[in-house]
């Protein structure tokens, strides 16, 4: 019995530590943040992104900055850290680094700033920030989708790996189906106001319209065959 107990204790001591990071929806993230008096709120986007708007009382430490690891060492490891980025990629990576460095409670926002703003939650933004880079107006967008042809709109961004991977396919299909459908790409970063109006909180986002009406919305990575199937079904 004694040898069994010793073996069991040995397993416990050598077992990997349980990850202290927790992914939360925007609503749960907000509730947990508001309930914590010692919260350290971390925005790991670039300073330029942060300057356009951010969660109130957040601290900006750019995950892509080589000094990121050094800067987070200045935070209190015994207090909870709440971390977010634009859509979740950088915050997930940052949360792992925080855990590796010994932070005991790390909470990551799923969907990031895109999900937060698209749900209408409050942000801290400089005056006029919402007026910058408005891009396409809703009137222009309505003109785009008001066509007798099927219209497929691809919301993409250069920092979105799946978006960039699919762009050649999207451009190819635009030529292949130009007699039957209109396929357009819209840069998310340059059209944030329009994206918010359309309820886009995740990219890549593909919106299919017929005579001005939305008939289908898809997100995520798709192969050429998937695109063709959806186009053919909705022509």
**Nearest residue to 198 via CA among 210, 207, 211:** 207
Of residues 109, 163, 181, 231, which has the active-site annotation?
163
Q: What gap in Å lies between CA 26 and CA 60, rounded to an integer?
A: 19
Residues in the chain: 235
Q: How many CB atoms lie within 10 A of CB 54?
A: 20
Among 205, 193, 110, residue whose Cα is nearest residue 157: 205
Active site residue 85: no
Quickly list H helices, the chain.
2-14, 26-35, 47-51, 68-72, 89-100, 112-118, 138-145, 161-176, 192-197, 224-234
Q: Which of the following is catalytic: 160, 186, 205, 230?
A: 160
- Chain-centre distance for alpha carbon 225: 26
Helix axes 224-234, 161-176, angle to 10 degrees: 50
- Are the C-beta atoms of 121 and 50 separated by less than 8 Å? no
On the CB side of 194, CA atoms within 13 Å amount to: 23
Q: Give which of 155, 150, 232 is closest to 188, Cα–Cα.
A: 155
The catalytic site residues sit at 160, 163
């Amino acid at each position: 019995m004694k040898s069994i107990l010793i073996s069991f204790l040995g397993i416990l001591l050598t077992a990997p530590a349980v990850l202290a990071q927790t992914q939360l929806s925007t609503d749960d993230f907000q509730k947990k943040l508001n309930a914590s008096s010692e919260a350290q709120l971390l925005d790991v986007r670039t300073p330029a992104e942060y300057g356009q708007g951010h969660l109130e009382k957040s601290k900006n430490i750019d995950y892509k900055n080589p000094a990121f690891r050094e800067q987070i060492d200045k935070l209190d490891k015994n207090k909870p850290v709440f971390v977010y980025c634009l859509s979740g990629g950088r915050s997930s990576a940052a949360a792992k680094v925080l855990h590796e460095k010994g932070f005991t409670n790390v909470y990551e926002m799923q969907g990031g700033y895109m999900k937060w703003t698209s749900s209408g939650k409050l942000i801290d933004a400089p005056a006029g920030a919402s007026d910058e880079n408005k891009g396409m107006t809703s009137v222009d967008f309505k003109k785009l989708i008001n066509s007798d042809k099927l219209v497929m709109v691809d919301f993409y961004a250069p920092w979105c790996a799946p978006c960039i991977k699919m762009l050649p396919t999207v451009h190819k299909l635009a030529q292949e189906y130009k007699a039957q459908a209109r396929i357009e790409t819209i840069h998310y970063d340059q059209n944030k106001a329009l994206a918010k109006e359309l309820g886009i909180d995740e990219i890549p986002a593909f919106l299919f319209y017929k005579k001005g009406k939305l008939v289908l919305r898809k997100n995520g990575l798709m192969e050429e065959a998937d695109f063709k199937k959806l186009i053919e079904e909705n022509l």
